C-alpha cells in the first residue's frame, strides 16, 4: 500500500536533486528535459499505484470466489443461492471501472454497490454456518476479504493524491511537453469526485 507513496517520494527526491543545480563543470539540464523526466516519473508512479490497487481488488475477488467454492463444497443446501452468488461474482470484473470510465461516477458507484453487497452477503452466509468456528479455511477467506475491502479507500486516496499532483503538474508544464500526445496530457479523474457528489 505504501509502494505508491514511496514511488512519489523518490520522484520528489529526484526533482529536488535536479532542481538544486548541477555541480561546477557539469552539463546543465534544460527546463524542458526536467519537465519530461518528471512527466515520465509521474506516469510510472500512476501506473504502479493503479496496478497495485487493481491487483489488490483482484485478490479480493479471488478470495470471494474461493469462499464461494468452499461454501459450495461444505454446504448441502442453498445451491440456487450459491449459483446466484457465482453469477454476481462473475459480473464484478466486467463492471469494474477503468481510468477512462471513471469520468462517469455512476460506473464507480455501481461497482462499489455490487462489490459491497456481495462481500456483506457472502461473509454473512459464511459466518452463519454451524461449522464456521471450526473451519479455518472459511475464517481465513473471510478475513482476507474483509482486509482487502478495508484497503480500498486507502489505495484510492493514494491514487487521488498522485493524480492531483499530476494534474497540477500537467496544467503548469503543458508547453514543455511537446511530442506527448494530447490524450496523454488530459486531466485524469479522481475517486474523490465520486465521494464528494
92 contacts 115 by C-beta, under 8 angstroms: yes
d(C-alpha 137, C-alpha 85), whole Å: 19
In contact, 53 and 159? CB cutoff 8 Å:
yes
Q: Is the pLDDT of residue 42 over 80?
A: yes
Question: If you search the block for the grid coordinates 514511496, which residue do you land on?
Answer: 6
Exposure string of 71-107, with b = 16+ CB inside 10 Å and e = fewer, is beeeeeeeeeebeebeebbeebeeebbeeeebeebeb
| Separation of first and last alpha carbons in the chain | 26
Give me the percent of the chain exceeding a pLDDT of 90.
59
Cα separation, 78 vs 54, whole angstroms: 31
Please give the average per-residue pLDDT across 38-51, as a whole number.
94
Cβ atoms of residues 19 and 26 within 8 Å: no
| Per-residue pLDDT at 33 | 78
- Model confidence at 28, pLDDT cuts 50, 70, 90, reads low
pLDDT score recorded for residue 1: 52
Q: What separation in angstroms does the CA of 172 have from each of 34, 120, 165?
A: 13, 44, 11
Amino acid at each position: 500500500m505504501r509502494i505508491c507513496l514511496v514511488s512519489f517520494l523518490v520522484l520528489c527526491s529526484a526533482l529536488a536533486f535536479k532542481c538544486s543545480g548541477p555541480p561546477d563543470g557539469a552539463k546543465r539540464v534544460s527546463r524542458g528535459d526536467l519537465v519530461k523526466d518528471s512527466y515520465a516519473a509521474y506516469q510510472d508512479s500512476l501506473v504502479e499505484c493503479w496496478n497495485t490497487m487493481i491487483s489488490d481488488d483482484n485478490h479480493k475477488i479471488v478470495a470471494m470466489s474461493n469462499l464461494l467454492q468452499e461454501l459450495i463444497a461444505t454446504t448441502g443446501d442453498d445451491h440456487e443461492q450459491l449459483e446466484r452468488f457465482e453469477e454476481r461474482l462473475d459480473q464484478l470484473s466486467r463492471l469494474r471501472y477503468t481510468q477512462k470510465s471513471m469520468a462517469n461516477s455512476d460506473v464507480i458507484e455501481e461497482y462499489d454497490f455490487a462489490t459491497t453487497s456481495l462481500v456483506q452477503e457472502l461473509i454473512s452466509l459464511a459466518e452463519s454456518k454451524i461449522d464456521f468456528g471450526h473451519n479455518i479455511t472459511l475464517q481465513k477467506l473471510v478475513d482476507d476479504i474483509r482486509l482487502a475491502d478495508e484497503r480500498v479507500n486507502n489505495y484510492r486516496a493514494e491514487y487521488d493524491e498522485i493524480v492531483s499532483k499530476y494534474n497540477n503538474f500537467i496544467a503548469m508544464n503543458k508547453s514543455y511537453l511537446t511530442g506527448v500526445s494530447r490524450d496523454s496530457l488530459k486531466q485524469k479523474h479522481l475517486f474523490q469526485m465520486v465521494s464528494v457528489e
